Structure 1
Amino acid sequence: MSKPTAPWRILLVIGGGIAAYKSCELIRLIRKEGGTVTCVLTEGGSHFVTPMTLAALSENEVYTTLWDLKNETEMGHIQLSRQADLVVVCPATADLMAKMAAGMADDLATTLLLATDKPVLAVPAMNVRMWQHPATQRNVAMLRASGVTVLEPDEGPMACGEFGPGRLPEPPVIWQRIRQALGGDPLADQPDFADAIHRPLHGRHVLVTAGPTHEPIDPVRYIANRSSGKQGFAIAAAAAQAGARVTLVAGPVHLPTPPGVERVDVETAREMAQAVEQALPADVAVMVAAVADWRPETVAGRKIKKQGLAPEPLPLTENPDILAGLAASPRRPALLIGFAAETNDVIPHAQQKRARKQVDWIIANDVSGDVMGGDANAVQIVRENDVVSLPEMPKDDVARVIVERIADALAR
């Protein structure tokens, strides 16, 4: 099958769950990026959103029944299933996925899903117990085995009052997966800074830190970590593309400065703390840098030479906590975001760090593999009341999702 090109045609099947309201935001995002959306509303979905709302947002007819005389004289369900580039089921309820796995076709949605020859992306949303039930997990496995892409739900509080996996991922995350499924990027042909006044971060100052710090031991050696700076530079670039004035405080990395970004190069943690202070005030601070926790108490003026078999002791002292200091500052940005690179218990450690540092979000990732220095990342956005899990994607796409969420948070 040839790869579709933008503008993409999305057939959106809306299941009967409370998360159906988020389909409205998804339609807005798809159309904002140049795609077209045709909606199929199930009977259950109609209890949460109306055909009139979906028609107004999509500017297309909304289909609700298999028994429409006008459409079905022309086999409308077959045409619907074949005209799209991608079929998206959102929300995909437990009932709807069970019918899909069983090959049932007792309404318009299930009939066109059985008749389509196009890729299908299902976005589950349901109670945590329903998601974890062996029947649901069996149905998910069957759908994936048959070629359907089934996303993992987010973890967080639910309308029923329970907490756990089962929440519908946020619309920007779903949109990123739609782009991946279609194999392209509708933003690629847009100029980065055209019409910046209409971009969502126009007039905002975004402060980003990136890369490692180097803490000198002597003129030759230093304490450092494996951070490449790629994720921080990608966030700075995405914020600039969204119209923000961006200050990027960069540790010692060999990366080009993103267009439209003011770059301040530093080496040590203390230099980074000073540069961050000088960059204030800012509306948003995204502290991506992997700052060394410790530095040598003293720096030798000459290279330290070996003295026998045992190495000389290297007394260390703690570096300034830039993130916690910024959280306690009277010039604290309205939105303060930290990063947590973890090798185990990623979400619990990130939740503890968010509370300890008194920041708004912690963006956590598992760095036990080759994330540091690599070009892809899978992160968890940990906020006060929920956790949003992003699938693994290129770091530029991770940055774009984060910046979209920043813009949404500032707009409230």
Structure 2
Amino acid sequence: MVLLAKKHVALYVSGGIAAYKAAYLVRELIRHGAEVRVVETAGAQEFITPLTFQALSKHAVYTDRFAQLAPDEVAHIELADWTEIALVAPATADLIAKVANGIADDFASTALLATTAPKFVAPAMNVHMWENPATQRNINTLKADGLHIIEPATGFLAEGYSGKGRFPEPEEIVATVNDQLIAADTSLPLHGQSVLVTAGGTRERLDPVRYLTNNSSGKMGYALATAARKLGAKVTLISAPTALPQPAGVAYVAVDSAATMRTALLARYADAQMVIMAAAVADFRSPTVAANKIKKTATDYQLTLTKNPDILAELGQQKHHQFLIGFAAETQNLLTYAQQKLTSKHADMIVANDVSSPQVGFDHDTNAVTILQSNQAPQQLPLASKEVIAQQILQVALATRKLQA
């Protein structure tokens, strides 16, 4: 689901050094299927020419509030009426002040004043300008007026030192806009529902430098969290350590061991409508963790392990209204073990995969799974990207939950 597809996006570019990044932003919006028209302030034109944006957007660029592109239209009103999403990026302190105070003295400020569509503002400026009380008052006014503020990043500034005020990366801006569209779309099947997703392989400490773990990359769980968010859910991703970036629009809880994952889940379980246990949780742990690094000795080292709590079974026992999905990663007797898990854990669905098969399961970008549910024939999902598999799993879950309702 690409929410920006076919959307009319008016991009307002104001005069700061970050204006050149707006060209990349136009390309990113178009890549997501949006139709883009660009407005440039006089200051922006000092940094990047209208011809650049015209070539990228395939539309004439708005620069002069008195220039009429069509004799029977008032240009700034026509653009305001056409707009489905207004995006001010980069937004200078000057343009922010104008919009916050209703000043309309150029094309950009006039068109924005006439626009009733959702507005997003991505400030970019020096850290001292950003922190100035006047700027912060104006930002708070925009928030109170219902505008969405995309917070500037912290990093190296044009002035040669670091601080908050950097223009966010175009991909981050588009992800933020998409996430706000998701939050506002009440037609999405998981709109407003709480979904918990676990991901990654837990780590069970032996000493300060060693631990027991597995080959899970977290990719399947992260794909499921992203897919659930795109369906409108309020997603909390409870993640063991991975090398993956946090998905946009998803609440993130970092854990390490089975014990910390269990604590995080139980604290949120009662409020969840759906729980997806995609993490590879260690079955065993050391009953004690050495305070210092265990030193190599001349004799063999004997490692004693004790069982971890069975989190999925515990959630199954406590289940009331939740739709509970577990995973079974096996190397033999896939359906037998997965069916046993479905019954013994009191899960609504088990997603089983044979991790000994090529390109399936741990640390791959692709997966192939079999879905098991009570009183239903196993449903096979053939090899595909984990993003596609995640979407298909949720489609099956939604269809099943609808039948149960």
**TM-score, normalisation: structure 1:** 0.52
Q: How does 1:338-353 map to 2 (within 5 A)?
A: 338-353=326-341
Partner of 1:283: 273
The secondary structure found in structure 1 opposite 2:350 is strand
Q: How does 1:67-86 map to 2 (within 5 A)?
A: none
Candidates 293, 296, 301, aligned match of 1:312: 301
Q: How does 1:222-241 map to 2 (within 5 A)?
A: 222-241=211-230
Partner of 1:389: 380
1:169-223 CA-partner distances (Å, limit 9, x unpaired): xxxxxxxxxxxxxxxxxxxxx9564452110111211111111100000111100
Q: How does 1:243-282 map to 2 (within 5 A)?
A: 243-280=232-269, 281-282=271-272
Paired with 1:409 and 1:381, the residues of 2 have a C-alpha distance of 12
1:9-40 CA-partner distances (Å, limit 9, x unpaired): xxxxxxxxxxxxxxxxxxxxxxxxxxxxxxxx
Paired with 1:202 and 1:341, the residues of 2 have a C-alpha distance of 30
Q: How does 1:5-404 map to 2 (within 5 A)?
A: 191=178, 193-194=181-182, 195-280=184-269, 281-308=271-298, 310-329=299-318, 332-368=320-356, 369-370=358-359, 371-385=361-375, 386-404=377-395
How far apart are residue 349 of structure 1 and its match? Answer: 1.1
One-letter identity of the residue aligned with 2:280: A
Partner of 1:81: none
Question: Given the alignment of the two structures, is residue 408 of structure 1 paired with residue 396 of structure 2, yes or no?
Answer: no
Misfit runs of 4+, over 6 Å: none
How has the CA–CA distance of structure 1 residues 294 and 333 changed in structure 2, closer, same or farther, with 3 Å as cutoff? Answer: farther
The secondary structure found in structure 1 opposite 2:196 is strand
Paired with 1:389 and 1:197, the residues of 2 have a C-alpha distance of 31
**TM-score, normalisation: structure 2:** 0.53
Task: Indicate if the aligned counterparts of 1:209 and 1:248 stay in contact, CA closer than 8 A.
Answer: yes
How far apart are residue 353 of structure 1 and its match? Answer: 1.0
Task: Indicate if the aligned counterparts of 1:196 and 1:243 stay in contact, CA closer than 8 A.
Answer: yes
Task: Indicate if the aligned counterparts of 1:346 and 1:364 stay in contact, CA closer than 8 A.
Answer: yes
One-letter identity of the residue aligned with 1:199: L
Partner of 1:158: none
How far apart are residue 411 of structure 1 and its match? Answer: 2.9
Task: Indicate if the aligned counterparts of 1:326 and 1:332 stay in contact, CA closer than 8 A.
Answer: no
The secondary structure found in structure 1 opposite 2:363 is coil
- Identity among equivalent positions (%) equals 45
The secondary structure found in structure 1 opposite 2:288 is coil
Paired with 1:235 and 1:354, the residues of 2 have a C-alpha distance of 20
Paired with 2:321 and 2:331, the residues of 1 have a C-alpha distance of 29
Task: Indicate if the aligned counterparts of 1:216 and 1:223 stay in contact, CA closer than 8 A.
Answer: yes
How far apart are residue 333 of structure 1 and its match? Answer: 4.4
Task: Indicate if the aligned counterparts of 1:247 and 1:279 stay in contact, CA closer than 8 A.
Answer: no
**Matched residues, number:** 224
How far apart are residue 311 of structure 1 and its match? Answer: 2.2
Task: Indicate if the aligned counterparts of 1:285 and 1:333 stay in contact, CA closer than 8 A.
Answer: no
How far apart are residue 357 of structure 1 and its match? Answer: 1.0
How far apart are residue 358 of structure 1 and its match? Answer: 1.3
Paired with 2:288 and 2:340, the residues of 1 have a C-alpha distance of 32
Paired with 2:241 and 2:321, the residues of 1 have a C-alpha distance of 25
One-letter identity of the residue aligned with 1:284: M
Paired with 1:319 and 1:296, the residues of 2 have a C-alpha distance of 9
One-letter identity of the residue aligned with 2:200: G
1:73-92 CA-partner distances (Å, limit 9, x unpaired): xxxxxxxxxxxxxxxxxxxx
The secondary structure found in structure 1 opposite 2:217 is coil
One-letter identity of the residue aligned with 1:393: A
Query: Which structure exhibits the higher relative contact order, with contacts defined as CA atoms closer than 8 Å and separated by 6 or more residues?
Result: 1
Superposition RMSD on alpha carbons, in Å?
2.0
Unaligned runs of 5+ in 2: 7-176
Paired with 2:348 and 2:219, the residues of 1 have a C-alpha distance of 23
Task: Indicate if the aligned counterparts of 1:224 and 1:292 stay in contact, CA closer than 8 A.
Answer: yes
Paired with 2:231 and 2:363, the residues of 1 have a C-alpha distance of 25
